[in-house]
Amino acid sequence: MSKIALEFTTTACNRPSVLNATYASYCKNLTGIDFSKSTVYLYVDPAPDSKNIQMVEEVARKYFGTVIVNYSSSPNFAAAALWCFSQVKGEFFFHLEDDWKLMKAINIHSMISKLGTSNLQCVLNKGRTSITIKETGEPCFVPSLIATQYWKKYLTNFRLDINPEYQMKVLFKNKSTGLFKNRSIYYNPAQELSKDIGRSWLMANKLARSYTPGAKWSPWIKWRNKK
């Protein structure tokens, strides 16, 4: 099959080296995509600071033909997610946060086939799991190919004071919304496909994220030096 142009969404912090590792990994291993003709919607939060923040955009331009970037004046994960998801125009898109590594070669056409016409997203799972589509199905922000029409249904009442992934899971579980009809599926639950590389960066730089006091699932608001 010929290579396709695809839309990507990335919520990023000011850590260009991490984003470079992520994009290098996916551009190498996510095959069947013409990245020179693809678009990434990139939202950049000034965290842990805003020093040389334009380097994040420079990294994106190394890998994508079109980069639409939004620089935030203050960090807010929910605002970042909402902006990214609101930009998408095509039938489906690939959501890729700035701190993941793709462990194996995956062809985008096989993901499109697995996504089908009624599923919400096809997830490149972050670890081996025995959980099947019958047991889960919740939306998640692990690297995924996403059906735009179903995903955007979650954005109608999107709140900026709650972790975006959490509030989508709550809406999914609320039977009255009907959102549970379009479910997430794993690409291959028997293999680790996506690896989180952000936590090791935080630890190496002795940083931790600060959350709204008393709100476990609040969107993180800034980073602090870890004691």
What CATH number is associated with residue 63? 3.90.550.10
In 3D space, the residue among 99, 12, 48 whose CA is nearest the CA of residue 226 turns out to be 48
Predicted pLDDT at 221: 45
pLDDT of residue 131: 52
Q: Is residue 1 part of a domain?
A: no
Question: pLDDT at residue 216 above 70?
Answer: no
Q: What is the pLDDT of residues 38-64, one digit of tens each?
A: 999 999 999 888 999 999 999 999 999
Q: What is the pLDDT of residue 36?
A: 98
Is residue 2 in some structural domain? no
Is residue 128 scored above 70 in pLDDT?
no
Query: Based on the structure, what is the number of domains in the chain?
Result: 1
* Cβ burial, residue 146 (10 Å; 0-12/13-18/19+): buried
**Which pLDDT tens digit goes with each residue over 69-90?**
999 999 899 999 999 999 999 9
Binned at pLDDT 50, 70 and 90, residue 133 comes out as: very low
Q: Residue 87 belongs to what domain range?
A: 7-225
pLDDT of residue 49: 85
Please state, rounded to an integer, the average pLDDT across all residues of the chain. 87
